Amino acid sequence: MTKYLWFPINREGWPFVALFGVVALLLGQAWAPLGWLGFVLTCWCAWFFRDPDRVTPVRDGLVISPADGVVQMIGMTAPPPELEMGDEPRMRVSVFMSVFSVHINRVPVDGKVVKTAYQPGKFLDASLDKASADNERMSVRMTRADGRDVAFVQIAGLVARRIKCDLKDDQEVKAGQRFGLIRFGSRVDVYFPAGVQPMVSLGQTTLAGETVLADLNSMEPARLGEVR
């Protein structure tokens, strides 16, 4: 059915689109202008759950963005304790998703899922640094073929109250593969192996499954950028 639309819709979105559509019909029966408003909101709901295909770079060593959005934070910090990766700080890149972003999340590297961990928590503004520790989150630790670990964390926010992750322990996955979503905006953090520097800058726009966040095989220093 989705192939007849001008943009594909993720299957997780269809129940919401149907609900919005039913409400729009009921509102329209009560008062036509409300029905049109409901129709507009139904279209917005369908657009929110859009799931476009992406062209993923496949060269070994690349870390691909797991989320559409804007690079909001870059810095050294320890991964979530539930992933059992130690207290040593690692380079972390945080991608913030607004309600206008595509919300389908994608795997950043080829490898094996060695640990998934759900952590209940608060629903603070995901743009705050403390949201990494305080908010509800779903953490995933992966091991590449060369033995190096990459971790990524889906973090709920003020509006986003539902994290969905389809990954399971011991699952083999490919970079760019769809693995879940966060409904109605939030953030995804990516933790690199020791010594790896980011290839993105603060404020840069990312596309899930396409934008290269880092190259594990490169000795290039961290990239700097400025708005022009």
- pLDDT tens string for the chain (228 positions)? 444 446 788 888 888 889 999 999 999 999 999 999 999 999 988 888 899 999 999 999 999 999 999 999 999 999 999 999 999 999 999 999 988 899 899 999 999 999 999 999 887 777 777 878 888 999 999 999 999 999 999 998 776 568 999 999 999 999 999 999 987 668 999 999 999 999 999 999 999 999 999 999 988 888 888 777
User: What is d(CA 108, CA 110) in angstroms, rounded to the nearest whole number?
Assistant: 7
CB of 61 within 8 A of CB of 212?
A: no
User: Which of 2.40.128, 3.30.2450, 2.70.70, 2.40.10 would CATH assign to domain 62-215?
Assistant: 2.70.70
Rounded to 5 degrees, φ, ψ at 163 are -100, 135
Cβ-contact 171, 47 below 8 angstroms: no
Give the per-residue pLDDT at 5.
47
Tokens at residue 183, please? 């409904």
Structure confidence at residue 89 (pLDDT): 96
Q: What is the pLDDT of residue 186?
A: 85
207-217: buried (b, 16+ CB within 10 Å) or exposed (e) per residue?
A: bbbebbbbbbe
Residues designated as active site: 186
Domain ranges of the chain: 2-48, 62-215
Q: What is the pLDDT of residue 94?
A: 97
CA distance 222 to 199: 6
- Output the pLDDT for position 117: 97
pTM of the predicted structure, to 2 decimals = 0.89
